[in-house]
Structure 1
Amino acid sequence: MSEIKPLTPYRPAAGRDGEVTCLPFDVFYRAEVHEIIAENPNSFLRVTRSENDFSDDANPTRDEILARAKDNLDRLIREGILIHDTEPAFYVYRLESNGSSQTGVVAGCSLEEYKGGRIKRHEKTQPDKVADRTQHIVHLRAQTGLIFLAFRGTAKIRKLLQKAVLSQPIYDLGCDTGVTHTIWKCTNTCDWIEAFEEVPTIYIADGHHRLESALRARDILRAEDPNGQDGQFDHVMAGLFPAEDLTILAYNRAVEDLNGLTETDLLAKLTESFDVQETTDTTPARHGEIAMYTGGKWYKLTRRNGAAEPSDPVDRLDVSILQNEILAPILGIHDPRTDKRIQFVGGQRGVTELERLVDSGEAAVAFSLFATTMDDLLAVSDADEIMPPKSTWFEPKLRDGFLVNPI
């Protein structure tokens, strides 16, 4: 049984969704954020990345950054750019791209269920990032971004989704990324609540830091008002999507040096565990293959015949094979969470970015991986294990600013 709750969010007024909404704050480089908010003062990035609202030489304090974020959110509300939906509702959210689509529902999910392990995770969180987003939630008294959750679909929920998309949407936004975002408001809340009672487990697809931050914010707000009734802060705003509809792209790696090795040394060490072939293929065709770019050439690395397939759901991941057999023993990257020599290149930036990093000298070697699958993610989560960092890149991304949950 999974508990969901309808929301009473702020959302863009009619015709304002295109200027307000944006991709999640953590997919942009700083220079990109500066450019976007300079061109569009109503971009929600001024709420989620308010440090970029200051000049480069301003050096604002954390309190000043949080105050600016709140001021920017308050202005959007005060000027009617964001309106308040006071009628409790769920929101069906469809993303269409390249001829495929995924449709889910935005709801409040129980933080107590997350704390109790019924909303399953597959990644560790970094304390500094959690602390940063916790402060953001508490200071704004709002959850400003969607957490991306997955569940094994049911016939009842599929039927509700199919029915919802027959009505008039409140938003239908085509973006220059090629993704169309369509949202419907659903006030038949009892039907949705009953349908999710049949869902035994929910999985975090993307948003581990946001979810952990929401839990920490709840604890802070409860401590401030210990006699208060069950509040909005006991639930977290999330988009819940059938797992079978979701697409994961590869999360690739680039390393700035060869750990004291020459290119010839590196290739020699790799041949101890892999068949190494020069290739023109930049993307692995199957699980167990790794594409490597160094010295202006691509190589296909294939685990030698007879190498045992790991039975552990984490060890069999391609990101784990790369980490355990190449990055750690050969290149000296023992903790990719903290090692400054490694960069992670996700999703749409693709192999072109890997080639650019190596050709420019910013990196010495790059690795293109076979993408983790949803079956991999569910297996790791069900085993209560943790994937290596940056194992999954979901595409398309849910946009920030469509819905803002006040707490």
Structure 2
Amino acid sequence: MAKVIPFKAVKPTRAIVGLVASRPYQSYTINERESRMDYNPYSFLHIVNPGYKYDQVITGTERYQLVRNRYLEFKEDGIFNKDEKPVYYAYRIVNRHKQEFNGIIAATSAEDYENDVIKKHEDTIAKREEIFKNYLQTVGFNAEPVLLTYPDNEIIAEIIKDAQKKHAEFEFTMTYRDTHYLWKIDDEEQIETLKKEFEKINTIYIADGHHRSASSYLLFKDEKENNPKHKGDESYNFFMSYLIPESDLVIQEFNRLVKDLNGLTKEEFLIKLDAMYRIENRGAIPYAPSRPHHFSMYLDGEFYSLYLRKANFDFKTALDRLDAQLLYKTILQPILGIDDLRNDNRIEYQHGRHEMITIKSSVDSGEFRVGFGMCPATVKQMKQIADEGLTMPPKSTYILPKLRSGITIYEY
């Protein structure tokens, strides 16, 4: 039974929301970040990069306190305002490829995360969890929702559609040509209906934002232990999420690039591959795989198709059937000697929207020796892996939609 409740969001004013909204801080290069801050005084980047004001890099707890100061200044200047009553927010994103995502921004339960009602499919790094937990405790807010997905529900969909018949409170387009829309769902009857419909859902899955949800859970545990009057309805019991139906979720693949052949010649490498794969040379024309357990490979100016010899591989779990895991277990680890996918600097990842031509360019440049393309995972696979209590290798999925920071803010 999922607990998904309305909350009072802090939001920018309608006139400047497009100027405030930003991509996640880490997704910008230093030059991109500074350019946006040079020419846009409203950017949320000014809050999360407070050292810009003093022309220096500030880290650790000192930075966290300055983040809070900048946030409070934005509120004092009327750039941000808090809604007067708890509501749900219907939210739509339409990207440049005309893909449309419709869902609800709401507060989701840290206890649901603890009790596996909210399930994960990726491992998190304990150090990063702790860092972000400390950040949340100091700054007192979270400005980017976790992306969650739930089974399609006609009643929830109908309430979202009803909200979208009204004039949107926000409608703006980012430089990446994603258009964002927000509507309040403030009708009391609809609010109660949404609560009850989410309560009927046994499991919700994290699509993107594993570290944010894990850190929010750590914050909940800390605050609960330190509050002798804990009741369970305090703001720290929840974290902000964008919930979309499974049919709206888009999963793209991350392709792999490797810098060397682990001391093997091209011929030795191909012979080792032949033990597990039927190999076909496809020539110089870019070639992409068409089905699961089928990879493309670019090596020495030529594309190859690799078809798994299934008789030689035993599928025991949902994770075994995941192509990212299969590539790791049959090629990356045993042949190319890559044990640690997260930290080995010999491997890099490119998400699927760059396509095979980018892999070709990266290998042709000499920076990499070989590249592998694969089919994307499915929502069904993601759910099965989570249900079995397993986790995907890093960079197994590139999830859409991609969210923006600073549009709705959850205060602790």
TM (normalized to structure 2)?
A: 0.91
- Specify the alignment match of 1:99 in structure 2: 98
Instruction: Summarize the alignment of residues 25-104 of structure 1 with structure 2, pairs less than 5 Å apart.
Output: 25-48=25-48, 55=55, 58-97=56-95, 98-104=97-103
Structural mapping, 1:5-404, within 5 Å: 5-48=5-48, 55=55, 58-97=56-95, 98-188=97-187, 189-229=191-231, 230-279=233-282, 280-304=285-309, 306-307=311-312, 310-404=315-409
Over 3 Å counting, the alpha-carbon distance change for 1:48 and 1:263 in structure 2 is farther
1:283: how far off?
2.5
Residues 53, 147 of structure 1: CA spacing in aligned structure 2 closer, same or farther, 3 A cutoff? farther
Distance 1:3 1:378, change over 3 A: same
Larger displacement relative to structure 2 (59-68 or 178-187): 59-68
Matched residue SS, 1:300:
strand
Q: Deviations over 1:77-96 (max 9, x none)?
A: 22211221121110011112
Structure 2: 5+ residue stretches without partners: none
Contact between 2:94 and 2:178, CA under 8 Å: does it hold in 1? Answer: yes
Contact 2:143 2:407 in 1 (8 A): no
SS at match of 2:161: helix
Q: Which moved more, 1:133-142 or 1:292-301?
A: 292-301
Would the aligned equivalents of 1:309 and 1:316 in 2 still touch at CA under 8 Å? Answer: no
2:380 and 2:252 map into 1 onto residues whose CA distance is: 14
Pairwise CA RMSD of aligned residues? 2.1
User: Aligned pair count?
Assistant: 405
* 1-structure distance, mates of 2:255, 2:63: 32
CA gap of 1:301–1:343, structure 2 versus 1, over 3 A, is same
Q: What is the identity percentage for the equivalent residue pairs of Structure 1 and Structure 2?
A: 29
- Which stretch has the larger CA shift, 288-297 or 205-214? 288-297
- Give the 3-state SS of the residue equivalent to 1:105 in structure 2: strand
- Identify the range of structure 1 (170-179 vs 384-393) with the bigger mean alpha-carbon deviation: 170-179
In 1, Cα distance between equivalents of 2:387 and 2:407: 31
Residues in 1 aligned to 2:64 and 2:276: alpha-carbon distance in whole angstroms: 50
TM-score after normalising by structure 1? 0.93
Partners of 2:52 and 2:120 in 1: how far apart?
Answer: 31
1:374 positional shift: 0.7
